[in-house]
Every structure is written in C-alpha cells, then in structure tokens.
Structure 1
C-alpha cells in the first residue's frame, strides 16, 4: 500500500476516535462532569499507554492545572487510576477500563449524597411543621400541615426506597438483575 494511503487511513482512524471521544465528553454531562473532563477521560481510555499530565496537556492542548484538576475529579469518581512504570518518575494515569464499575461507583456516590440530603431536609421540614402545628389555633392551617406532613412522609418513603436501590447498585448486586453484556 502506498505511504500516501496509509497516511489517509491513519487520519480517518484518528477522526473516528476523536468523534467517539466527543460523544463520551458530551454524555459525561449526564453524570455532572464537564465536557473537557469527559474529553480527558476519552483520551486516557484510548491511550495505549498510561499518560503523564504533560502527555495529557499536549494531547488536549489544555493547561497542566486543568489536567490535574480533571484527573483528580476522574480519580475521585474511580474512572481514572494512578499507575506506575519502572524508570518513570512522573505520575502516570490510566482510565478505568470497566465502565460498569465506573458507572456504579459514580451513580452511587452522586445519588447517595443527594438522597441523604433530601432525607435530612424532609425530616427537618416535618419537625418544623409539627412545631407550627402545635402552636397554631388555625384549624385550616392544621389541616394543611397534616396534608403536607403526609406528602413529606411519602417523599421520605421514596428516598428510603432510593437508598435501597443505591445500595443494590453500589454493591454490584444490580448485575444479578441486569447482567453485564459480555462480548
């Protein structure tokens, strides 16, 4: 094959991979991750070797500070992990190849924090409404508070159910119900 065709083939390959990295970056918004951090993850995912912050900076043309912040965010979400290679002193990073593991970790962390906060807020609202209900002589307000406390208890029941679901995802038990696709 002439060298010219090989160059075009590589160019097509790189464009195809870049297109998919853009898809990853765009979809990361679903998980509260910026598209630039999503591009970083995609770049690491398709890298044949672990990368240093300098490698990432060169590949994405972003500042080293941005790379460091992005790697830290991805590491916190267990989507990137540090790795070591004999003879290399700089920190190396690679993507977590198991997307199922990344999703369950990311989903559980994000939803757990929010759900725990919602439960706490519902409890506080119930307590405050009960205090108002005890103080007031207004029968219409008492009825409204009763109705709203019931709504808040329903919300708490939902959040308790959601916490069970989060635990099923977090533990990996979800895969007993919805198995991973195997190639």
Structure 2
C-alpha cells in the first residue's frame, strides 16, 4: 500500500496546488499523471487516467504547456502529440512561479510608468500624493524584479541558503 498511498498523497497535493491558484483540480491531476508517467502520454491516455473528457484535458494541457509545466512531444512517424511533465523541482519552480512573477512585475513596471507619465504635468496636491505612491511602488517593483531575476539565473539553492542566513541575521538584530 505504500507506493499507491504515496501516489495518492502527491496527486492530492497537485490537485490542491491547482485549486490554490484558482484552477480546477483537473490541472493538478493531469500534472500528477504526467509526473508519475515513465514515458510521454497521449491526450487519450491522459484523459483515460484522469477520468476527464478529452476536450477538458486538451484545454488544461494548453494552459499547463503555456506556463511551462508540461512539454508537448512529437514521436517520429506518429501524428499524435504526447506530453510530459517537468519533473526537476528547480525547473518547475522557475516555470510555474518565477517566470510568471517576473512577467507580472514587468507589466506592473510598464503600467506604473504609464500612470506616472499621465500625471507628469499635474502639479496638484492629489497628483503629488499619487506620484509619491507610484514612485515607491516602482522602487519596490525594481527590487522584486532583481530578486526574481537572481533566482532565475543563479544556482537557486545556494542563493536561497544565503537569503535565509541574511533573514536569520535580521531576526537576531530585531530580538
């Protein structure tokens, strides 16, 4: 029962992770099926293993592929598309979190800069308050962007260990 229970625990974990991101549990189950698969699976095989319809699985695979958690593979001489999950945790975190966070941070920067341009000539007190808030937001956003880029480019584990040491030092100073 150990192996099956371990699979069940992880399948539920993937389903709950999908729910935390506001998605159907289907996304987690698909990822879980592909995570445990020894070889790439076809759309039909994934639908069969998850119990969901081919159309639902197809839609979910498009999203999972777009965020980099699933890769589409073509086999020579076979017209079917096959899918595999990213299984390297470091690459998974980059694909699922860091790249999407970076995209959001970069879009935030663009929008804050546009908003600043809109009130550039306005010298009113209200515009000045908004400008200060936006400049603060831009500065925080810049720091966030640098941290995410570091996480993407560096040996993540070593960087995280150094960040933890810095956080521990800050906590000691505050105590």
Residues 16-55 of structure 1: pairs in structure 2 closer than 5 A: 16-31=6-21, 33-55=23-45
Q: 1:19 to 1:175 in 2, by over 3 A?
A: closer
TM-score, with normalisation over the residues of structure 2? 0.78
Q: How many residues align?
A: 161
Which residue of 71, 75, 99 corresponds with 1:109? Answer: 99
**Residues 1:173 and 1:153: Cα distance change in structure 2 (over 3 Å):** farther
- Residue 144 of structure 2 is matched in structure 1 by 162
Of 38, 41, 49, the residue aligned with 1:59 is: 49
Gaps in structure 2 of 5+ consecutive residues: 162-175
Aligned to 1:174: 156
Give 1:39 deviation, angstroms.
0.9
Per-residue CA deviations over 1:36-76 (Å, capped at 9, x if unaligned) read 11110011111233211111111111111221222222222
Give the structure 1 partner of residue 135 of structure 2: 153
Quick one: structure 1 residues 150 and 173, their matched pair in 2 at CA, closer, same or farther if it must change by over 3 Å? Answer: farther
Question: 1:114: Cα distance to partner?
Answer: 1.7
What is the CA RMSD across the aligned residues, in angstroms? 2.4
Match of 2:119 in 1: 129
Query: What is the match of residue 144 of structure 1?
Result: 126
Q: 1:178 aligns to what SS in structure 2?
A: helix
Tell me by how many angstroms 1:30 deviates: 4.3
Whole-Å separation in 2 of the counterparts to 1:84 and 1:145: 55
C-alpha displacement at 1:173, in angstroms?
Answer: 4.2
Contact 1:82 1:91 in 2 (8 A): yes
